Structure formats: C-alpha cells, structure tokens
C-alpha cells in the first residue's frame, strides 16, 4: 500500500526515511505543533516550494535540461488566480478558473519555447528561457494597468479561507480560515508531489533518465528525444503554475518580486542542488532546509554583521543584504563537492 502510494520509489535510507517522516509530520501538524503566524507562514512556504522544486527537478535532475523560466511559469499560475479573483470577484469559481487557465497557459508557453529551442540543442533552451523570462518579468512590471506593475495585486479570496472565519478551537488552537487555507495548501502540495513521484517512476520517467544519460543512444533505440523533452518541459511548467496558484491563494497578493524575480529562480536552483538532483525526495529536503535557513539565518547574519562592526570589510560581507553572495558561494561549492546532494549522500552511506 505505502509502496504503491510512493510509486515504488522508497527513500532507501534509514536516515532519509526518518527525515522525510519528520518533515511530513511537522508540516501536517504545523498549526498545532508550532502555533503562531510566522511559523505557519514558513510551513506554507515550505509546502509550496517543495512542489515548485520537485517540478523543477523533473527538468533539471531527470531530463538534464536547464531552464531559467521556472519562476515565469510559477508567476503565470499566481497571476492567473490574482487576475481571475480581481475580475470575477471573490469566489471559488474564480480560484478554479484562474488556476486552470494559469496551468494551461504555462504548458502552452513551455511547448512554444520547447519547440523552438529543444529541436536544435538543449543548451539553447537555457539561454532562450533566460531571455524570455526576463522579457516577461519586465513586461509584467510595465503593464501596470493589467498586472498592477511593481505594486502587484491585492485581491480577496472566499471568506472560509481567511483569518476572519472562526470555527472554534481544537487542542487550545483557534481554528480559523487561515488554518483551513493552510490545509488546502498542504494537501494540494502533497497530492502534486505524489503525482510527480508517479511521473518520474513511470516508463515515461525512465525514458527521460535514459535521454539525460545519453540522448544519442535513446534516439537510436527509437525514442523521439524532442517529444520526450518537450513533454517534460510542459508537465514541469504546468505543475509550477499550480504551485504558483497555491502561493497566490495563500498570500492573497501577487507581485513581481514575490513570484517572478530572478532571485527566486536562484533559490529554486539551490534547493534542487542541495537536496539532490534526480531524486524527488531531494526537493523535500532541499526546500525545507533552505526555507528554514532563509527565514532564520538572515537574522543571524544581521547579528554577526553588528558584532563585527569596526572591522574592515567583514560587516559589509555579513550584511543581511549580502545573503545572495553566500548563496552563490554555497551554490558553486555544492555543485563541485556535493553533486548528488544530501539525498545522494545519505543513500550512498547505507
């Protein structure tokens, strides 16, 4: 039964199993274990980023394609919900319509980009997605009439999903709409993650891995490499858009900085690499560690920067604004010395 749910892809390491169970339980019981607005915010972020990173891993880890447009698809999903909620008014129908439209639009756009670049060589894809994603990001901040520009959009979602909706209390925690909203995000993320796990362990997923290892040979065996690569791109884009929709439902706000910025793209890359490319469980571990570190380490950097005041250069290097610098260093080091990530390391130990 359990093997069936996990599509036969067991964690295959005792430590890893323990970690994954801890994360699953922690997220499932987050409102009760860690009450408070900020920890719930962090937990929801972790759920959404697990899906986003797992969908990116389908591309990077399983198909060996580098894309820089993943935040664009994420943003499309988020803006889909935001625009639908703005124009159709508050309601579940708006959420559904926005989510579906965002996912379809993402898949179509990915199909277009894939047809142009993957046909020739996979390396074009990295450059073209970078160009397209930056053009879209600029476009979104320029078309302020439609997208709210740099300010983004605020909109309202059904009342049952907002803190104003009270339901009574359980184990001393007041159950309000925000907690219902959290469980919507949690179960949707869990379902999407299991779907992705199913995809990569299907025959289709095997072909993707074969293409990653040797595309020439895969073509020679009779698999249309372009077709498989393009389909993987579309699937990954659609799931990213769904994650974006969840994010929009959770935040009740979208803006270019929170959904489209290049910085988020880097975060995703780093989460995949730290967790481990080519395993879906890597996305879980990577996203959890990274979001926790992002939320709590930046404070620490501020403290360290204050403590080293007076020394040359160190305060600037430790300034919380230089968070990206350390991410970059960590990124290079982990690609060199840690290419299989945490999951690969744990699995090889057993």
Partner 1 sequence: MTTAAPDHAPKYAQVSLPDRIGKAMPLLLVPLLVVLGFLSIGSPSSWLTLTVSGLAMGMMIFIMASGLTLVFGLMDVINFGHGAFISVGAYVGISVLLGLESWTGVPSLLLNVAAVIAAVIAAMCVTGALGWGFERVIVRPVYGAHLKQILVTVGGLIVIEQMIHVIWGPDEIYLTRPEMLKGAVTFAGAAIEKYRLLAVVFGLALFVAMRLVLKRTKIGLIVRAGVQNGEMVEALGYRLRLVFIGVFIAGSALAGLGGVMWGLYQEVITAGMGEEMMILVFIVVIIGGLGSVEGAFIGALLVGLLQNYVAFLEPKLALISNIALMTAILMWRPQGMMPVVKAK
C-alpha closest to that of 51 among 189, 172, 145, 236: 189
Q: Using an 8 Å Cβ cutoff, are 77 and 99 in contact?
A: yes
Per CB under 8 A, does 342 bind partner 1? no
Question: How many angstroms from the chain centroid is the CA of residue 107?
Answer: 16
Residue from 50, 94, 128, 232 touching partner 1 (CB under 8 A): that is: 128
Place of tokens 């890597």: 282
300 Cβ partners below 8 Å, 6+ apart? none
Torsion over CA of 345, 186, 23 and 39, rounded to 10 degrees? 120
Place of tokens 């990530």: 341
- Using the CB atoms, write b or e for 222-255: b if 16+ within 10 Å: ebebbebbbbbbbbbbbbbbbbbbbbbbbbbbbb
54 Cβ partners below 8 Å, 6+ apart? 192, 193, 196, 239, 280, 283, 284
Reading the block at residue 227, the tokens are 């077709």
Per CB under 8 A, does 260 bind partner 1? no
Per CB under 8 A, does 52 bind partner 1? no
CB-nearer residue toward partner 1: 298 or 316: 316
Per CB under 8 A, does 224 bind partner 1? no
- Bridge partners, 173 (sequence order): 170
- Considering only residues 63 to 82 of the shown chain, the ones binding partner 1 according to CB under 8 A are 64, 66
Per CB under 8 A, does 332 bind partner 1? yes
Instruction: Give me the least distance between CB of 313 and partner 1, in Å please.
Output: 7
Instruction: Give me the least distance between CB of 134 and partner 1, in Å please.
Output: 5
Q: Using an 8 Å Cβ cutoff, are 245 and 81 in contact?
A: yes
Residue from 92, 183, 262, 296 touching partner 1 (CB under 8 A): that is: 262
Residue from 269, 274, 284, 285 touching partner 1 (CB under 8 A): that is: 269
CB-nearer residue toward partner 1: 237 or 246: 237
Instruction: Give me the least distance between CB of 183 and partner 1, in Å please.
Output: 35
319 Rama class: left (phi>0) / alpha (psi -120 to 50) / beta? beta
How big is the site for partner 1, counted in residues (CB under 8 A)? 41
Instruction: Give me the least distance between CB of 112 and partner 1, in Å please.
Output: 9
CB-nearer residue toward partner 1: 36 or 328: 328
Per CB under 8 A, does 142 bind partner 1? yes
Residue from 100, 104, 130, 301 touching partner 1 (CB under 8 A): that is: 130
Residue from 1, 121, 203, 220 touching partner 1 (CB under 8 A): that is: 121
Residue from 119, 166, 206, 224 touching partner 1 (CB under 8 A): that is: 119
Q: Using an 8 Å Cβ cutoff, are 71 and 53 in contact?
A: no
- 153 secondary structure, DSSP code: E
DSSP 159-186: GGGSTT-EEEEETTEEEEHHHHHHHHHH
- Using the CB atoms, write b or e for 65-88: b if 16+ within 10 Å: bbbbbbbbbbbbbbbbbbbbbbee
CB-nearer residue toward partner 1: 18 or 328: 328
- Considering only residues 282 to 321 of the shown chain, the ones binding partner 1 according to CB under 8 A are 313, 316-317, 321
Which segment (60-68, 69-77, 164-172, 294-302) binds partner 1 by CB under 8 A?
A: 60-68
CB-nearer residue toward partner 1: 31 or 278: 278
Which parts of this chain interact with partner 1 (CB under 8 A)? 60, 64, 66, 116-117, 119-124, 126-128, 130-132, 134-135, 138-139, 142, 262, 266, 269, 273, 313, 316-317, 321-322, 324-325, 327-329, 331-332, 335-336, 339
């Amino acid at each position: 039964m359990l093997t069936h749910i996990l599509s036969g892809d067991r964690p295959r390491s005792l430590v890893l199993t323990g970690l994954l169970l801890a994360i699953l339980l922690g997220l499932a019981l987050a409102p009760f274990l860690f009450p408070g607005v900020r920890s719930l915010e962090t937990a929801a972020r972790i759920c959404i980023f697990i899906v986003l990173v797992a969908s990116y891993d389908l591309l990077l880890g399983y198909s060996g394609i580098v894309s820089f447009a993943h935040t664009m698809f994420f943003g499309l999903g988020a803006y889909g919900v935001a625009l639908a909620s703005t124009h159709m008014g508050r309601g579940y129908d708006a959420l559904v319509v926005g989510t579906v439209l965002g996912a379809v639009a993402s898949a179509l756009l990915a199909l277009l980009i894939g047809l142009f670049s993957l046909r020739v060589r996979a390396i074009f894809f990295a450059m073209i997605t970078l160009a397209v994603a930056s053009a879209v990001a600029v476009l979104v901040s320029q078309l302020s009439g439609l997208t709210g520009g740099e300010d983004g959009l605020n909109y309202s979602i059904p009342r049952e999903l907002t803190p104003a909706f009270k339901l009574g209390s359980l184990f001393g925690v007041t159950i309000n709409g925000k907690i219902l909203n959290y469980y919507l995000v949690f179960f949707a993320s869990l379902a999407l993650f299991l779907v992705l796990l199913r995809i990569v362990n299907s025959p289709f997923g095997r072909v993707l891995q074969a293409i990653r290892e040797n595309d020439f040979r895969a073509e020679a065996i009779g698999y249309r490499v372009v077709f498989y690569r393009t389909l993987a791109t579309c699937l990954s884009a659609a799931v990213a858009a769904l994650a974006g929709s969840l994010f929009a439902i959770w935040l009740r706000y979208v803006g270019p900085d929170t959904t489209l910025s290049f910085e988020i793209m880097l975060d995703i890359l780093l989460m995949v690499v730290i967790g481990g490319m080519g395993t879906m469980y890597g996305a879980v571990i990577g996203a959890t560690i990274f979001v926790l570190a992002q939320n709590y380490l930046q404070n620490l950097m501020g403290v360290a920067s204050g403590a080293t005041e007076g020394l040359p250069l160190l305060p600037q290097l430790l300034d919380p604004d230089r968070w990206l610098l350390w991410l970059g260093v960590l990124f290079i080091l982990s690609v060199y010395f840690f290419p299989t990530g945490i999951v690969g390391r744990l699995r090889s130990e057993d």
